Amino acid sequence: MLNKTAFSSIGKRQPRSEDYRLLTGRGRYIDDIDISGALHACFVRSPYAHARILSIDGADAEDLPGVVGVFTGNDLSQWTTKLRMAPPIEGVKPLEMTTLPIDKVLFHGDLVACIVAEDRYLAEDAMELVDIDYEPLPPITDMFKALEDDSFLIDETLGTNLISQQSFATPDVHRIMSNGDKVIESTFSEHRQTHLPIETRGIIAQWDAGCEHLTVHVGNQATHPYRSALAARLRISESQLTVISPDVGGGFGQKIALYREELTVAALARYLNQPVRWREDRMENLMAASHAREDWVRTRTVVEADGRLKAMSLEIVEDFGGYCFYPANYLARVIAMILSGPYKLQHYAYDVKVVLTNKCGNGPMRAPMAITSWIMDGTIDNIARELGMDPVEVRRINMIREDEFPYQMATGETLEDINPFETMEKGLALIGYEKLRKQQKADQEQGIYRGIGICNVVESTTYGSKFYKSAGIPGSGHEAAWVRVEPSGAIIASVGISATGQGYETAFAQTVAEGLGVNAEDVSVQLGNTDVAPYGMGSRGARGGTAGGGTAYLAGQDAQKKVLAIAAKMLGLNTDEQLSMKGGKVWRRLDEDWSDTKLTLADVARIAYLDPTNLPQGMEPGIQIHKTYDPPSMTYSNSTHFCQVVVDVKTGAVCIERYLIVENCGTVINPLIVEGQQHGATIMGLSGTLFEQVIYDENGQNLTGSLADYLIPTATEVPDLEIVHMNTANKRTPAGIKGMAEGGVMGAIGALSNSVSDALLPFGIVIDKHPISPNVLRTLLREKE
């Protein structure tokens, strides 16, 4: 009747409870929130990549009927503080930015002034009348040139464009590298991309002058850290600020930081004492929200004759754009720390440089460390080519086996509870690897160029506080949740993580239900309001499941403890040891059998709230649990991606014939949601590798300001994905959850790139940059024809 060991809510393929409102058009995104009398803001943006602002004349614009005002950096500096990005991290230089630029603009699309008007049409009419005098400066658009001694500087006070540099080396690595063994060199580079949420950024700010309280509706992934930042920059108390993140149409990392536009709107709502709203348009989002990637990577490797890795060094140079909304080492450093993934490597060195240029500032994008698996498995493919070995053999000989876990990487990180060898072997069997290789050879003779790409992924999912500390990244990895059982037995829970479409309301309801022993349908999850939710660290990385779901699960368990203690008293028992909750009812064990006591959660809740003299001695009335939890330093998930392509050498088109993922993401809270995440992540990786690209010309002009030029795939461009699960639990986390939202991106980039290189092996072409467009492939092939 009652199985105490297996989960009942966790693991259920439960339809998403949020989908009813979202799919019937009843969701509440920023534009669905009607605020009477709200003014509209729009931003005047720089047409230059790099220029001094000599003067801004908004008089003609302000004369236009319906225009409230034109506000500049000098205006905003009266009401807001500067952002000082100066984390105590060795090798990272401090940087300051004002709310709106005052003297200098740093990229095409950078902010110059804010116009507030009665509606957005008027604001845009006014924009054409603002007269700005610029002195153009030489644009810095190439990160390598930015590093040259005579380069113009983004920030003169730094004396360099090298904003961050960090190095690491194990004691013997340089000696081994210079022993005279052949050094195998591989390079990889990712182009600049952007997050492209369907809902662009947006904010509504309302100042209540009577209560001296600011309420902000903003699409955001981490509402509490956002509230801390916004309160500090407005010089008000966190208690004077409510941040509400309603339904949000996607974030992918773009909606974590407090942006300058949002701060401007909030400050102006307070100054004007009138609600102000701003909806970013698509061109602004593509050009000026936040970008990601753009790096160049080189590995140098020495190996044994049988392909075993002896030592490896890694160099990364990353183009971070003109502004730092995150510490500059935030993204690239993690790549360096977890590079070796599922492979044994003890002699290792890295050097990571981050450079400022005249482009939009970079931020984390699902996955910040996306290139990691391609670097590692791409390097292994190069080793295989160099030694004339099968790429699978080189993977096998280097892979960490089951009996070698926990495995400490050269950087000190510990891998455990993963099964990369098993996922790879399973996938090889499923695709019929040996047979496929024979087929490939036969097809080549017919002029059909088929490629098989393999990418093993070890995904860093949940960052605990300890990892942040050792990676030199400021911040905490803990999370918070509360669970309340109301007098009627109604259950409400909240977590300090805001949703941007992931289905958290459903997943967290399932983990609370599991901990409390109720049905998930009966748990109402309320997210995204700083007055309701506990202070948590928000949605980022793949922490939603482990940190969010895990904390909610623990809070549910604590709530169940209290319920059972009350139930024992109600049943006249001395102890609750033989009691358990299931389906919202109290069950009692007699010998091996469980029986229904007929006592419900509502019965217990009524006592807790309305008849507290009947509570066990000393117990506080009510059932309200608040819980915080700091996950282990790092949890890891793993997977193997297989991509089979045919390259049409005439047109340069890449056709994905088969895509298989064998994965281990630990305990699955909801298979429906997890598969959706894995599909989404994999497609995002394929999309970035084939299509998406932010292009700046040599003058720093952004050429990809519309979706006609920034290409994302539609359903017709996306292959079917086969996913096979080989999940094993994490022994250290609540319910064994690991997380999994970003690994698909990592695997797709590597598997697809490696498959195209494999297909083009007869031409001696190795893919070392993206996007792999037909035009690029034809250019490479033309050189070989």
Partner 1 sequence: MKPGKFTYHAPENLHAANQLLAELGDDAKIIAGGQSLIPVMNLRLAQPDHLIDINGISELAGIHQENGLFTLGCLTRHADVETSPLLMDKFPLLPAAAKRIGHLAIRNRGTIGGSLCNADPAAEWPLIAILLDAHLSIQSSGGERHTPAKEFIQSVYTVDLGADEILTTVAFPPLARGEGWAVNQICRRTGDFALVSVAVTLKLDRQGHIERLRLCLGSMDVTPFRLIDVEQAARGKIPDKAWIHEMAGIAFDAGSPESDMHASAQYRREMAAHLTSEVLTEALGRCRAGT
Footprint on this chain of partner 1 (rule: CB under 8 A): 120-121, 124-125, 128, 281-283, 650-652, 691, 695, 703-704, 706, 708-709, 711, 713-714, 716-717, 773-775, 778-779, 782
The rounded Cα 775 to chain-centroid distance in angstroms is 30
Q: How far is the CB of 325 from partner 1 (least distance, A)?
A: 24
Of 197 and 652, nearer to partner 1 (C-beta) is 652
Query: What's the CA angle centered on 276, arms 122 and 215, to 5 degrees?
Result: 170
Q: Smallest gap, in angstroms, from Cβ of residue 714 to partner 1?
A: 6
* Minimum distance of partner 1 from residue 700's CB (angstroms): 15
Q: How far is the CB of 703 from partner 1 (least distance, A)?
A: 6
Report the nearest approach of partner 1 to the CB of residue 540 (Å): 29
Query: What is the CA 419 to chain-centroid distance, rounded?
Result: 24
In this structure, the number of other CB atoms found within 10 A of the CB of residue 706 comes to: 11
- Cβ-based nearer residue to partner 1, 125 or 294: 125
Taking the complex as a whole, the smallest distance from the CB of residue 717 to partner 1 amounts, in Å, to: 5
What is the C-alpha separation between 443 and 453, in angstroms, rounded? 17
* Smallest distance from partner 1 to CB 650, Å: 5
Min. distance of Cβ 117 from partner 1 in angstroms? 11
Residue 633 or residue 704: which is nearer to partner 1 going by CB? 704
Tell which residue, 202, 18, 178, has the closest CA to residue 676. 18
How many angstroms separate the CA atoms of 777 and 767, rounded? 9
As measured in angstroms, the least distance from the Cβ of 558 to partner 1 is 50
Q: Are 227 and 241 in contact (CB under 8 A)?
A: yes
Shortest Å distance, C-beta 716 to partner 1: 4
- Greatest CA separation found in the chain? 89
Q: How far is the CB of 143 from partner 1 (least distance, A)?
A: 20
Burial string for 564-597 (b: 16+ CB within 10 Å, else e) reads bbbbbbbeeeeebeebbbbbbbbbbeeeeebeeb
Distance CA 603, CA 601 (A): 5
Backbone region of residue 314 per phi and psi (left: phi > 0; alpha: psi in -120 to 50; beta: other values): beta
555/547 Cα distance (integer angstroms)? 12
Q: How far apart are CA 240 and CA 135, in angstroms?
A: 41
Q: Is the dihedral of CA 578, 584, 585, 587 positive or negative?
A: negative
For partner 1, the closer of residues 182 and 282 by Cβ is 282
Distance in angstroms (rounded) separating the CA atoms of residues 365 and 191 = 13
Instruction: Supply the DSSP symbol for 663.
Output: E
Find out whether 519 and 583 touch, Cβ atoms under 8 Å.
yes
Please, what is the minimum distance in Å from the beta carbon of residue 123 to partner 1?
8
- 265 φ, ψ to 5°? -60, -45
Give the pairing of strands 653-664 and 722-725. parallel
Q: Rounded to an integer, what distance in angstroms lies between the CA atom of residue 314 and that of residue 294?
A: 16
> Which helix or strand (DSSP H or E) is residue 333 part of?
helix 332-338
Tokens of 172: 């013997």
